[in-house]
Amino acid sequence: MLRHKMMKPGAALLLTAALFAGATPASALYSPSVNAVTKQVTAQGKSFNVSVVTVDLTDPTLELAPALADGGVGHDAPLQAIAEREGAVAAINGTFFNAYEANPYIRYPNGTMVQAGEALHTGENQTFILNRDKVPDIQFVDLDIAVRVSEGNGTYTINPWGVNKYYGADSTDQVIWYTPDFGSWIGFPNGTKVVIEDGLITRITNDSVQVPAGGYVLFVGNSANNRQYVLPNLDVGDRVTKELLAKGEGGSSLNAKSWLAAIGVGPKLVSGGAVDLDVKRDGFSDPKVTQSSAARSFIGIDGSDRLVMGTVPSATLTQLAAITLQLGLKEAMNMDGGSSSGLYANGTMLTYPGRELSNALVVRKLDKPKVQIDINGQPVYDYSGFIVKETTVVPIRPFITAMNAGFQWDAATRTATITSAGVTMKLKDGSSTATVNGKSVSVPVPLQIMEDSRMYVPLRLVAESLNSKVDWNSSLYRASVRLP
Protein backbone atom coordinates (compact mmCIF):
# COMPACT_ATOMS: atom_id res chain seq x y z
CA MET A 1 0.00 0.00 0.00
CA LEU A 2 2.80 2.43 0.90
CA ARG A 3 5.99 2.87 -1.02
CA HIS A 4 8.69 1.92 1.44
CA LYS A 5 11.94 0.01 1.39
CA MET A 6 11.79 -3.54 2.59
CA MET A 7 15.51 -4.29 2.26
CA LYS A 8 18.79 -2.50 1.86
CA PRO A 9 22.35 -3.71 1.57
CA GLY A 10 23.97 -4.22 4.49
CA ALA A 11 30.96 19.95 17.22
CA ALA A 12 27.15 20.26 16.99
CA LEU A 13 25.26 19.23 20.07
CA LEU A 14 21.68 18.05 19.77
CA LEU A 15 18.52 19.17 21.62
CA THR A 16 15.19 17.26 21.83
CA ALA A 17 13.03 17.95 24.82
CA ALA A 18 11.24 21.06 25.99
CA LEU A 19 13.30 22.03 28.96
CA PHE A 20 11.44 23.42 31.83
CA ALA A 21 8.52 23.68 29.48
CA GLY A 22 6.31 20.89 30.63
CA ALA A 23 2.77 20.32 29.47
CA THR A 24 -0.08 21.99 31.26
CA PRO A 25 -2.68 19.78 32.96
CA ALA A 26 -5.33 18.25 30.74
CA SER A 27 -8.04 20.37 32.40
CA ALA A 28 -6.29 23.57 31.20
CA LEU A 29 -5.39 22.56 27.66
CA TYR A 30 -6.14 25.65 25.62
CA SER A 31 -4.26 27.93 23.27
CA PRO A 32 -5.59 31.01 21.46
CA SER A 33 -3.27 30.02 18.59
CA VAL A 34 -5.39 26.90 18.00
CA ASN A 35 -8.80 27.40 16.40
CA ALA A 36 -11.36 24.67 15.69
CA VAL A 37 -14.39 25.04 13.41
CA THR A 38 -16.78 22.88 11.41
CA LYS A 39 -17.18 23.94 7.80
CA GLN A 40 -19.56 22.85 5.08
CA VAL A 41 -17.56 22.50 1.89
CA THR A 42 -18.90 21.81 -1.58
CA ALA A 43 -16.51 19.83 -3.76
CA GLN A 44 -17.17 17.95 -6.99
CA GLY A 45 -20.87 18.69 -6.68
CA LYS A 46 -21.22 17.20 -3.19
CA SER A 47 -21.47 18.82 0.25
CA PHE A 48 -19.13 17.70 3.05
CA ASN A 49 -19.00 18.54 6.75
CA VAL A 50 -15.33 19.12 7.55
CA SER A 51 -13.84 19.49 11.03
CA VAL A 52 -10.93 21.90 10.74
CA VAL A 53 -8.24 22.89 13.26
CA THR A 54 -5.87 25.75 12.40
CA VAL A 55 -2.61 26.22 14.33
CA ASP A 56 -0.19 29.16 14.33
CA LEU A 57 3.11 27.32 14.71
CA THR A 58 5.08 30.54 15.22
CA ASP A 59 3.66 30.74 18.76
CA PRO A 60 6.74 30.00 20.93
CA THR A 61 4.56 28.28 23.54
CA LEU A 62 3.56 25.61 20.99
CA GLU A 63 5.65 22.64 19.86
CA LEU A 64 4.79 20.35 16.95
CA ALA A 65 5.86 16.71 17.23
CA PRO A 66 4.99 13.19 16.11
CA ALA A 67 4.00 11.19 19.18
CA LEU A 68 3.93 7.45 19.81
CA ALA A 69 1.56 5.43 21.93
CA ASP A 70 2.73 4.76 25.46
CA GLY A 71 5.17 1.85 25.37
CA GLY A 72 6.90 2.94 22.18
CA VAL A 73 6.94 1.84 18.55
CA GLY A 74 4.53 -1.02 17.89
CA HIS A 75 2.10 -0.22 20.70
CA ASP A 76 -1.22 1.58 20.33
CA ALA A 77 -3.48 3.78 22.46
CA PRO A 78 -6.54 6.06 22.16
CA LEU A 79 -5.84 9.37 20.41
CA GLN A 80 -7.18 11.31 23.38
CA ALA A 81 -4.82 9.46 25.73
CA ILE A 82 -1.85 10.28 23.49
CA ALA A 83 -2.89 13.94 23.27
CA GLU A 84 -3.41 14.34 27.01
CA ARG A 85 -0.16 12.56 27.88
CA GLU A 86 1.70 14.89 25.51
CA GLY A 87 0.02 18.00 26.91
CA ALA A 88 -1.39 18.72 23.47
CA VAL A 89 -3.78 21.48 22.44
CA ALA A 90 -4.21 19.87 19.02
CA ALA A 91 -3.72 16.38 17.64
CA ILE A 92 -4.58 14.30 14.60
CA ASN A 93 -3.99 10.66 13.81
CA GLY A 94 -0.61 10.11 12.18
CA THR A 95 0.96 7.75 9.69
CA PHE A 96 -0.27 4.33 8.60
CA PHE A 97 0.52 1.36 10.85
CA ASN A 98 -0.13 -2.38 11.05
CA ALA A 99 -3.54 -1.89 12.62
CA TYR A 100 -4.74 -5.44 11.89
CA GLU A 101 -1.73 -7.16 13.44
CA ALA A 102 -3.05 -9.55 16.12
CA ASN A 103 -0.05 -9.02 18.40
CA PRO A 104 -0.63 -5.61 20.09
CA TYR A 105 3.12 -5.11 20.59
CA ILE A 106 4.18 -5.17 16.93
CA ARG A 107 1.70 -2.80 15.28
CA TYR A 108 4.55 -0.95 13.65
CA PRO A 109 4.16 2.36 11.78
CA ASN A 110 5.13 2.73 8.13
CA GLY A 111 6.14 6.36 7.75
CA THR A 112 8.88 8.80 8.58
CA MET A 113 8.76 10.46 11.99
CA VAL A 114 11.32 13.06 13.10
CA GLN A 115 11.44 15.26 16.16
CA ALA A 116 14.12 17.91 16.74
CA GLY A 117 16.53 16.42 14.22
CA GLU A 118 16.17 12.90 15.66
CA ALA A 119 14.48 10.03 13.81
CA LEU A 120 11.76 8.16 15.65
CA HIS A 121 11.15 6.07 12.53
CA THR A 122 12.45 6.11 8.96
CA GLY A 123 10.41 5.81 5.80
CA GLU A 124 9.90 6.90 2.22
CA ASN A 125 6.79 9.06 1.95
CA GLN A 126 5.23 12.38 1.17
CA THR A 127 6.20 14.21 4.35
CA PHE A 128 5.04 17.24 6.31
CA ILE A 129 8.11 19.13 7.56
CA LEU A 130 8.48 22.03 9.99
CA ASN A 131 11.96 23.54 9.88
CA ARG A 132 13.75 25.57 12.55
CA ASP A 133 12.51 28.82 11.00
CA LYS A 134 8.96 27.60 11.70
CA VAL A 135 8.30 27.33 7.96
CA PRO A 136 6.20 24.27 7.00
CA ASP A 137 6.41 22.29 3.79
CA ILE A 138 5.12 19.03 2.30
CA GLN A 139 7.38 17.09 -0.04
CA PHE A 140 8.59 13.60 -0.84
CA VAL A 141 11.29 12.41 1.59
CA ASP A 142 13.41 9.27 1.60
CA LEU A 143 14.89 9.17 5.11
CA ASP A 144 17.87 6.98 6.01
CA ILE A 145 20.60 6.95 8.62
CA ALA A 146 24.37 6.47 8.44
CA VAL A 147 26.24 5.10 11.48
CA ARG A 148 29.97 5.76 11.68
CA VAL A 149 32.21 3.73 13.97
CA SER A 150 35.67 5.13 14.77
CA GLU A 151 38.66 3.33 16.25
CA GLY A 152 42.06 4.97 16.13
CA ASN A 153 42.41 6.74 12.79
CA GLY A 154 39.93 4.49 10.99
CA THR A 155 36.20 4.99 10.43
CA TYR A 156 33.73 2.34 9.29
CA THR A 157 30.31 3.36 7.95
CA ILE A 158 27.20 1.23 8.42
CA ASN A 159 23.97 1.92 6.55
CA PRO A 160 21.15 0.36 8.61
CA TRP A 161 17.96 -0.73 6.93
CA GLY A 162 16.09 1.74 9.09
CA VAL A 163 15.35 3.20 12.51
CA ASN A 164 13.05 1.42 14.98
CA LYS A 165 11.94 -1.23 12.50
CA TYR A 166 12.06 -5.03 12.50
CA TYR A 167 11.81 -7.31 9.48
CA GLY A 168 11.39 -10.64 11.26
CA ALA A 169 13.69 -13.41 12.44
CA ASP A 170 14.18 -14.76 8.91
CA SER A 171 15.75 -11.49 7.68
CA THR A 172 19.19 -12.33 9.02
CA ASP A 173 20.95 -9.68 6.91
CA GLN A 174 19.06 -6.80 8.53
CA VAL A 175 20.87 -4.08 10.47
CA ILE A 176 18.59 -1.79 12.49
CA TRP A 177 19.18 1.29 14.65
CA TYR A 178 17.02 1.43 17.79
CA THR A 179 16.34 4.46 19.98
CA PRO A 180 14.52 4.66 23.33
CA ASP A 181 11.38 5.49 21.33
CA PHE A 182 11.18 1.85 20.29
CA GLY A 183 10.69 0.69 23.87
CA SER A 184 12.77 -0.52 26.78
CA TRP A 185 14.19 -3.81 25.51
CA ILE A 186 15.60 -5.29 22.30
CA GLY A 187 15.39 -9.07 22.45
CA PHE A 188 14.99 -10.18 18.85
CA PRO A 189 16.62 -13.52 17.96
CA ASN A 190 19.19 -14.27 15.28
CA GLY A 191 21.24 -11.17 15.84
CA THR A 192 23.85 -9.31 17.86
CA LYS A 193 22.94 -6.29 19.98
CA VAL A 194 25.47 -3.45 20.13
CA VAL A 195 24.77 -1.02 22.98
CA ILE A 196 25.86 2.62 22.57
CA GLU A 197 26.00 5.06 25.50
CA ASP A 198 27.50 8.55 25.51
CA GLY A 199 28.74 7.96 21.98
CA LEU A 200 30.69 4.80 22.83
CA ILE A 201 30.04 1.08 22.35
CA THR A 202 29.65 -0.29 25.88
CA ARG A 203 28.43 -3.84 25.22
CA ILE A 204 28.17 -6.40 22.41
CA THR A 205 25.97 -9.42 23.11
CA ASN A 206 23.45 -11.89 21.72
CA ASP A 207 21.31 -11.48 24.87
CA SER A 208 18.33 -9.16 25.28
CA VAL A 209 19.43 -5.62 26.11
CA GLN A 210 17.83 -2.47 27.42
CA VAL A 211 17.97 0.64 25.25
CA PRO A 212 19.89 3.16 27.40
CA ALA A 213 18.23 6.48 28.19
CA GLY A 214 19.79 8.86 25.71
CA GLY A 215 21.56 5.95 24.02
CA TYR A 216 21.00 3.46 21.22
CA VAL A 217 21.16 -0.20 20.24
CA LEU A 218 22.42 -1.40 16.86
CA PHE A 219 20.92 -4.78 15.93
CA VAL A 220 23.07 -6.78 13.51
CA GLY A 221 21.47 -9.88 12.00
CA ASN A 222 23.57 -13.03 12.08
CA SER A 223 23.94 -13.52 8.31
CA ALA A 224 27.29 -14.64 6.94
CA ASN A 225 27.63 -11.22 5.32
CA ASN A 226 27.20 -9.37 8.62
CA ARG A 227 29.47 -11.77 10.50
CA GLN A 228 32.21 -11.24 7.93
CA TYR A 229 31.93 -7.54 7.12
CA VAL A 230 30.06 -5.74 9.93
CA LEU A 231 30.71 -7.34 13.32
CA PRO A 232 34.55 -7.43 13.01
CA ASN A 233 34.46 -3.62 12.80
CA LEU A 234 32.62 -3.23 16.12
CA ASP A 235 34.45 -3.30 19.45
CA VAL A 236 33.65 -2.13 22.96
CA GLY A 237 35.10 1.36 23.38
CA ASP A 238 34.69 2.39 19.74
CA ARG A 239 33.21 5.85 19.19
CA VAL A 240 29.89 5.95 17.32
CA THR A 241 28.21 8.86 15.55
CA LYS A 242 25.09 8.96 13.42
CA GLU A 243 23.80 11.16 10.62
CA LEU A 244 20.32 11.48 9.17
CA LEU A 245 20.37 11.22 5.39
CA ALA A 246 17.32 12.72 3.71
CA LYS A 247 16.67 12.87 -0.01
CA GLY A 248 13.88 14.62 -1.84
CA GLU A 249 12.27 13.92 -5.20
CA GLY A 250 14.96 13.22 -7.77
CA GLY A 251 17.55 12.46 -5.11
CA SER A 252 18.14 16.04 -3.96
CA SER A 253 19.81 16.29 -0.55
CA LEU A 254 17.73 17.63 2.36
CA ASN A 255 18.95 18.84 5.75
CA ALA A 256 16.95 16.72 8.19
CA LYS A 257 18.99 18.07 11.11
CA SER A 258 17.17 21.37 10.66
CA TRP A 259 13.71 19.84 11.10
CA LEU A 260 11.81 20.55 14.28
CA ALA A 261 9.24 17.93 13.28
CA ALA A 262 8.32 15.72 10.34
CA ILE A 263 5.78 13.00 9.62
CA GLY A 264 5.49 10.97 6.43
CA VAL A 265 2.12 9.65 5.22
CA GLY A 266 0.53 10.55 1.85
CA PRO A 267 -0.53 10.60 -0.81
CA LYS A 268 -0.05 14.27 -1.60
CA LEU A 269 -3.31 16.11 -2.29
CA VAL A 270 -2.37 19.69 -3.16
CA SER A 271 0.86 21.37 -4.27
CA GLY A 272 1.27 25.08 -4.96
CA GLY A 273 -2.46 25.70 -4.61
CA ALA A 274 -3.44 23.08 -7.22
CA VAL A 275 -4.61 19.48 -6.96
CA ASP A 276 -1.61 17.12 -7.02
CA LEU A 277 -2.95 13.60 -6.46
CA ASP A 278 -0.91 10.75 -7.93
CA VAL A 279 -1.35 7.55 -5.94
CA LYS A 280 1.04 5.55 -8.11
CA ARG A 281 3.80 8.14 -7.72
CA ASP A 282 3.33 8.11 -3.95
CA GLY A 283 3.35 4.32 -3.69
CA PHE A 284 -0.31 3.48 -3.01
CA SER A 285 -2.21 0.65 -4.66
CA ASP A 286 -4.73 -0.62 -2.07
CA PRO A 287 -8.24 0.20 -3.42
CA LYS A 288 -9.43 0.86 0.15
CA VAL A 289 -7.10 3.85 0.15
CA THR A 290 -7.08 4.89 -3.50
CA GLN A 291 -10.73 4.40 -4.53
CA SER A 292 -13.10 3.83 -1.62
CA SER A 293 -15.16 6.48 0.12
CA ALA A 294 -14.13 6.38 3.79
CA ALA A 295 -13.44 8.54 6.80
CA ARG A 296 -10.48 10.75 5.92
CA SER A 297 -7.89 12.84 7.73
CA PHE A 298 -5.60 15.44 6.23
CA ILE A 299 -3.04 18.07 7.13
CA GLY A 300 -2.05 21.07 5.11
CA ILE A 301 -0.64 24.57 4.95
CA ASP A 302 -2.73 27.69 4.37
CA GLY A 303 -1.70 30.99 2.79
CA SER A 304 -0.41 32.28 6.14
CA ASP A 305 1.83 29.22 6.63
CA ARG A 306 -0.41 27.93 9.40
CA LEU A 307 -0.87 24.21 10.00
CA VAL A 308 -4.35 22.99 9.11
CA MET A 309 -5.62 19.63 10.40
CA GLY A 310 -8.94 18.19 9.35
CA THR A 311 -11.28 15.21 9.14
CA VAL A 312 -14.15 14.31 6.81
CA PRO A 313 -16.71 11.59 7.71
CA SER A 314 -16.64 10.04 4.24
CA ALA A 315 -14.82 10.96 1.03
CA THR A 316 -12.69 9.49 -1.72
CA LEU A 317 -9.12 10.70 -2.14
CA THR A 318 -10.17 12.65 -5.21
CA GLN A 319 -12.92 14.35 -3.23
CA LEU A 320 -10.53 14.99 -0.33
CA ALA A 321 -8.09 16.75 -2.66
CA ALA A 322 -10.93 18.96 -3.92
CA ILE A 323 -12.03 19.67 -0.32
CA THR A 324 -8.57 20.78 0.78
CA LEU A 325 -8.34 23.01 -2.28
CA GLN A 326 -11.69 24.60 -1.42
CA LEU A 327 -10.38 25.24 2.10
CA GLY A 328 -7.69 27.42 0.56
CA LEU A 329 -4.73 25.18 1.33
CA LYS A 330 -1.62 25.69 -0.78
CA GLU A 331 -0.18 22.32 0.31
CA ALA A 332 -2.05 19.29 1.64
CA MET A 333 -1.45 15.62 2.38
CA ASN A 334 -3.63 12.66 3.27
CA MET A 335 -3.15 11.03 6.68
CA ASP A 336 -4.07 7.51 7.77
CA GLY A 337 -7.86 7.27 7.51
CA GLY A 338 -10.80 4.94 7.95
CA SER A 339 -11.11 3.82 11.55
CA SER A 340 -7.89 5.68 12.38
CA SER A 341 -9.34 9.09 11.51
CA GLY A 342 -9.35 11.30 14.61
CA LEU A 343 -9.04 14.96 15.58
CA TYR A 344 -8.55 16.78 18.90
CA ALA A 345 -8.34 20.46 19.83
CA ASN A 346 -8.23 22.53 23.02
CA GLY A 347 -9.26 19.66 25.28
CA THR A 348 -12.09 18.36 23.07
CA MET A 349 -12.32 15.33 20.81
CA LEU A 350 -13.77 16.56 17.51
CA THR A 351 -13.53 13.21 15.72
CA TYR A 352 -13.21 9.92 17.60
CA PRO A 353 -11.15 7.19 15.89
CA GLY A 354 -12.72 3.77 15.68
CA ARG A 355 -9.56 2.12 17.00
CA GLU A 356 -6.48 2.79 19.07
CA LEU A 357 -3.56 4.39 17.27
CA SER A 358 0.14 3.69 16.93
CA ASN A 359 1.03 7.36 16.53
CA ALA A 360 -0.28 10.88 16.15
CA LEU A 361 0.83 14.36 15.18
CA VAL A 362 0.45 16.61 18.23
CA VAL A 363 0.82 20.28 19.09
CA ARG A 364 2.09 20.55 22.65
CA LYS A 365 1.33 23.50 24.92
CA LEU A 366 4.42 24.61 26.83
CA ASP A 367 4.43 26.40 30.18
CA LYS A 368 7.09 28.85 28.99
CA PRO A 369 8.22 30.00 25.55
CA LYS A 370 10.90 27.63 24.33
CA VAL A 371 14.20 29.21 23.33
CA GLN A 372 16.07 27.67 20.40
CA ILE A 373 19.85 27.63 20.71
CA ASP A 374 22.37 27.77 17.87
CA ILE A 375 26.12 27.58 18.42
CA ASN A 376 28.17 28.69 15.41
CA GLY A 377 25.16 28.10 13.19
CA GLN A 378 24.52 24.56 14.41
CA PRO A 379 21.28 23.75 16.27
CA VAL A 380 21.63 22.47 19.82
CA TYR A 381 18.74 20.05 20.29
CA ASP A 382 19.65 18.24 23.51
CA TYR A 383 19.11 21.41 25.49
CA SER A 384 16.87 24.45 25.22
CA GLY A 385 16.37 27.56 27.27
CA PHE A 386 13.61 29.74 28.62
CA ILE A 387 13.10 33.35 29.58
CA VAL A 388 13.09 34.74 33.12
CA LYS A 389 12.70 38.49 33.73
CA GLU A 390 13.39 39.19 30.04
CA THR A 391 16.65 37.24 30.33
CA THR A 392 17.41 34.11 28.29
CA VAL A 393 18.49 31.35 30.66
CA VAL A 394 20.16 28.21 29.26
CA PRO A 395 21.94 25.10 30.52
CA ILE A 396 25.65 25.81 30.80
CA ARG A 397 26.88 22.39 29.69
CA PRO A 398 26.45 22.60 25.86
CA PHE A 399 27.94 26.07 25.79
CA ILE A 400 31.13 25.24 27.68
CA THR A 401 31.45 21.94 25.78
CA ALA A 402 31.27 23.71 22.42
CA MET A 403 33.84 26.25 23.62
CA ASN A 404 36.08 23.51 25.00
CA ALA A 405 36.11 25.59 28.18
CA GLY A 406 37.24 24.37 31.56
CA PHE A 407 34.57 23.78 34.17
CA GLN A 408 34.70 23.03 37.87
CA TRP A 409 31.93 22.71 40.43
CA ASP A 410 32.65 23.30 44.11
CA ALA A 411 29.87 21.48 45.95
CA ALA A 412 30.87 22.96 49.31
CA THR A 413 30.46 26.58 48.19
CA ARG A 414 28.04 25.74 45.32
CA THR A 415 30.21 27.73 42.94
CA ALA A 416 30.81 27.08 39.23
CA THR A 417 34.15 28.14 37.74
CA ILE A 418 34.46 28.48 33.97
CA THR A 419 37.80 29.13 32.28
CA SER A 420 38.42 29.91 28.62
CA ALA A 421 41.12 31.82 26.70
CA GLY A 422 42.45 33.66 29.72
CA VAL A 423 39.03 34.41 31.22
CA THR A 424 37.94 32.99 34.57
CA MET A 425 34.30 33.35 35.52
CA LYS A 426 32.74 32.28 38.81
CA LEU A 427 29.01 31.98 39.44
CA LYS A 428 27.47 30.96 42.73
CA ASP A 429 24.16 29.15 43.03
CA GLY A 430 21.45 31.70 43.85
CA SER A 431 23.79 34.71 43.87
CA SER A 432 22.96 37.95 42.04
CA THR A 433 26.66 38.67 41.44
CA ALA A 434 29.46 36.86 39.63
CA THR A 435 33.17 37.50 39.16
CA VAL A 436 35.00 37.78 35.85
CA ASN A 437 38.79 37.78 36.26
CA GLY A 438 38.26 38.86 39.85
CA LYS A 439 35.88 41.73 39.05
CA SER A 440 32.34 41.64 40.43
CA VAL A 441 29.52 41.84 37.86
CA SER A 442 25.76 41.93 38.32
CA VAL A 443 23.83 38.81 37.33
CA PRO A 444 20.30 39.52 36.01
CA VAL A 445 19.16 35.99 36.86
CA PRO A 446 21.27 33.95 39.31
CA LEU A 447 22.75 30.58 38.44
CA GLN A 448 20.14 27.95 39.29
CA ILE A 449 20.07 24.17 39.47
CA MET A 450 16.64 23.22 38.18
CA GLU A 451 14.36 20.23 38.63
CA ASP A 452 16.08 18.43 35.75
CA SER A 453 19.38 18.63 37.74
CA ARG A 454 20.90 20.88 35.08
CA MET A 455 22.67 24.13 35.85
CA TYR A 456 21.12 27.18 34.18
CA VAL A 457 22.84 30.52 33.62
CA PRO A 458 22.00 33.81 31.85
CA LEU A 459 23.19 33.19 28.30
CA ARG A 460 24.27 36.66 27.23
CA LEU A 461 26.23 37.37 30.42
CA VAL A 462 28.21 34.14 30.25
CA ALA A 463 28.73 34.21 26.47
CA GLU A 464 29.91 37.80 26.29
CA SER A 465 32.08 37.42 29.40
CA LEU A 466 33.84 34.59 27.54
CA ASN A 467 34.30 36.75 24.41
CA SER A 468 31.43 35.21 22.44
CA LYS A 469 28.62 37.06 20.65
CA VAL A 470 24.88 36.47 21.02
CA ASP A 471 22.22 37.39 18.45
CA TRP A 472 18.55 37.24 19.42
CA ASN A 473 15.73 36.50 16.98
CA SER A 474 12.56 37.64 18.72
CA SER A 475 10.18 36.11 16.17
CA LEU A 476 11.72 32.63 16.46
CA TYR A 477 12.83 32.90 20.10
CA ARG A 478 16.27 31.83 18.95
CA ALA A 479 19.58 32.69 20.60
CA SER A 480 22.50 32.33 18.19
CA VAL A 481 25.93 32.15 19.82
CA ARG A 482 29.08 32.88 17.84
CA LEU A 483 32.15 31.55 19.57
CA PRO A 484 35.49 33.40 19.41
pLDDT band for position 19 (cuts 50, 70, 90)? very low
Amino acid 80: pLDDT: 98
Q: How confident is the model at residue 13 (pLDDT cuts 50, 70, 90)?
A: very low
25, pLDDT greater than 50: no
Q: How far apart are CA 164 and CA 172, in angstroms?
A: 16
456 or 351, greater pLDDT? 351
Considering the entire predicted model, what is its pTM? 0.90
pLDDT at 267: 99
Q: What is the pLDDT of residues 67-91, one digit of tens each?
A: 999 999 999 999 999 999 999 999 9
The per-residue pLDDT of the chain, averaged, comes to 91
pLDDT digits (tens, 9 = 90+) for 389-416: 888 898 887 778 877 889 999 999 999 9
> Which tops the pLDDT comparison, 350 or 394?
350
What is the spatial distance between Cα 29 and Cα 346, in angstroms, rounded to a whole number?
Answer: 5
Q: Where are the domains of the chain?
A: 1-367, 372-482
Q: What CATH number labels 372-482?
A: 3.30.457.10
Residues whose CB is less than 8 angstroms from the CB of residue 396 and which lie 6 or more positions away in sequence, other chains included: 407, 416, 418, 455, 456, 457, 462
Q: Residue 381 in contact with residue 116, Cβ under 8 Å? A: yes
Tell how far CA 189 is from the center of its chain: 29
Q: What is the pLDDT of residues 243-266, one digit of tens each?
A: 999 999 999 999 999 999 999 999
Say what the pLDDT of residue 400 is: 80
Burial 259-295 (b: 16+ CB within 10 A, else e): bbbbbbbbbbbbbeeeebbebeebbbeeeebbeeebb
Lowest mean pLDDT among 25-29, 150-154, 238-242, 279-283: 25-29
- pLDDT for 5 equals 37
Q: How much is the pLDDT for 153?
A: 85
Evaluate if residue 308 carries a pLDDT over 60. yes
Q: Which residues contact 27 (CB under 8 A, 6 or more apart)?
A: 347
Per-residue pLDDT tens over the stretch 85-132: 999 999 999 999 999 998 888 999 999 999 999 999 999 999 999 999
Residue 278 has pLDDT above 70, yes or no: yes
The whole-angstrom separation of Cα 448 and Cα 430 is 6
User: What confidence tier does 23 reach under pLDDT thresholds 50, 70, 90?
Assistant: very low
> What pLDDT does 15 receive?
25
d(CA 39, CA 52): 7
Percent of the chain whose pLDDT exceeds 70: 94
